[in-house]
Structure 1
Amino acid sequence: MDKKTFSADGTSLAYEISGEGPALILVSGAMSTGGTVAPLAVPLAEHFRVVTYDRRGRGESGDTRPYAVEREVEDLAALIEAVGGEAALCGISSGGALVLEAAADGLPVRQVAVYEVPFSVHEGGAKERAEYTERLTEALAEGRRGDAVELFLRLTGMAEQMIQGARQSPMWAGMETIAPSLAYDNAVMGDGLVPRAQLSSITVPVLAVAGSASPAWMREAARAVAETVPEGTYRSLAGQTHMVEPDVLGPVLAEFFKEFGE
């Protein structure tokens, strides 16, 4: 990250810009940094001035306590101001919940796109989220970062054998480093249900995308987001999963942002 700005509470935010044109900020999800979404910036940089950044508590950005979702919305406000005062937002996974929050809060946003925000459309999802929150809070409070990562991976549906394999891999140390930020993404997700009241207040166009090879509940959630916002569009990408290919998602995003950015 070669640039830096500061949020309202003084937290330093590291970011990079690629391409030229209208500003577009990419927001990563849990267990990720700006580098995680950097491959998606490549196709989009042909049409936009794409901003990737490390969310607070990870990468090269700071981490001022106590955490609150409002602070992350202020982070986006600071980034928007740094790149000209207006931007489109694209959030991946739980990063999508953050950009929807920012749009609902009235930040100067042109359009919003989200990919597979892991909301639930069923009440049982709230119970699962509450149980995860309790166990995650306990693990982090006791300094059991590895256990916190395991909890998250189980929440995503990863098989136990794969989790144990990941724990023996070289990448595990890095995952434990940013494990405290799991609490931040969890807070952004609220009770885990589609936030219909919040979504209904968003006044800008919203694109909600899911992969056809992802679990049905993720497609249901994306469709619910598109149907709840006043100006929503739903797209399904053939053969894609939660680990979407940038070269497949990029053109769909570019088409949307160009159409509504004119």
Structure 2
Amino acid sequence: MDKKTLSRDGTPIAYQRTGRGPAIILVSGAMSTGATVAPLAGPLGDRFSVVSYDRRGRGASGDTAPYAVAREVEDLAALVDAVGGEASLYGISSGGALVLEAAASGLPLRSVAVYEVPFALDDTGARERAEYTENLTAALAQGRPGDAVEHFLRLTGLAEEMIQGARNSPMWPGMEAIAPSLAYDDAVMAGGLVPRERLAAIGVPVLSIAGGASPEWLREAARAVAESAPQGTYRMLEGQTHMVDPNALAPVLAEFFLRNS
């Protein structure tokens, strides 16, 4: 990240900008930094000015207590100002939930696209999210970042043997370092259910995408997002999973953002 802008509360937000054209800001999900979504900048950079950034509490960005989702929306507002006062947003997973909240908050946006925001569709899913929130909160409060990461990996459906393998891998210290930000993503998910009333307040076009090889509930959640937004569109990418290929995703995003630029 080679640039920084200050959010409303004084938190420095690190970002990088590549390409030329209308601005698109890329928003990463849990356990990730701007580097996770930065590969999209290559295939989009010939038509757009693409911004990737480290969300607060991770990477090269700062953090200021107390946390609130509204502070992350203000981070996006600062980035929009930094790129000229108007932009489109793309967010993946829980980063998509942040994008949708930013759009509902009235930021000066042209359009927003999200990929597989893991919203629950029923009370069973909401109860799983509530249990995760309780376990995560306790682990972080008690200074057990490794356990917090484990709870998150279980929430994603990762098998126990793979979780233990990750815990014994060289990447684990880095995962523990970013573990406190899991509480931020959990807050962004706001209980986990599809926020239909909040989505109804979005006044710009919304593209909600899912992978054809992802679990059915993720595809249905993506469809529910599109149906709840007044200008929502649903799109499925054949053969893709939650770990979507940037080269498969970029043409879909480019077509949507060009149409709404």
Pairwise TM-score range, normalised by the shorter structure:
over 0.9
Structure 1, unmatched stretches of 5+, are none
Distance (whole Å) between structure 1 residues aligned to residue 127 and residue 155 of structure 2 = 12
Identity %: 74
| Aligned partner of residue 178 in structure 1, secondary structure | helix
Distance 1:197 1:125 in 2: 18
The amino acid that maps onto 1:26 is: L
Stretch deviating more after TM superposition (112-121 or 39-48): 39-48
Cross-structure match for 2:125: 125
In structure 2, what is the equivalent of residue 93 of structure 1? Answer: 93
CA displacement at 1:42 relative to structure 2: 1.2
| Per-residue deviation, residues 88-141 of structure 1 (Å, max 9, x unmatched) | 000010000001000000000100000000001112111111111111000000
- Equivalence for 1:165: 165
Aligned counterpart, 1:27: 27
Q: How many Å apart are 1:221 and its aligned residue? A: 0.2
- Cα distance in 2 for partners of 1:45, 1:92 equals 18
Q: Secondary structure at the match of 2:134?
A: helix
1:114 aligns with 2:114: yes
* CA distance in 1: counterparts of 2:46 and 2:190, whole angstroms: 35
Match runs of 1:1-262 below 5 Å: 1-261=1-261
2:260 counterpart SS class: helix
Whole-Å separation in 2 of the counterparts to 1:98 and 1:238: 25
Aligned residue pairs: how many? 261
State the 1:153 CA deviation.
0.3
Partner amino acid, structure 2, of 1:54: D
1:157-190 deviation per Cα after TM superposition (whole angstroms, max 9, x unaligned):
0011111111111111110000000000000000
Query: Could you give the per-residue CA deviations for residues 63-95 of structure 1, whole angstroms, max 9, x where no partner exists?
Result: 100000000000000000011000000001000
Aligned partner of residue 47 in structure 1, secondary structure: coil
Question: What is the TM-score of this pair, normalised by structure 2?
Answer: 0.99
5+ residue gaps in structure 2? none
TM score, norm. by length of structure 1? 0.99
Offset of 1:195 from its aligned partner? 0.2
Structure 1: how far apart are the matches of 2:70 and 2:260? 27
Cα distance in 2 for residues equivalent to 1:77 and 1:123? 33
- Structure 2: how far apart are the matches of 1:90 and 1:110? 11
CA distance in 1 between partners of 2:42 and 2:181 (Å): 26
Shift of 1:6: 0.4
The residue type equivalent to 2:129 in the other structure is R
Letter in 2 for 1:198: R
Q: Segments of 4+ in structure 1 off by > 2 A?
A: none
Q: What is the alpha-carbon root mean square deviation over aligned residues?
A: 0.5
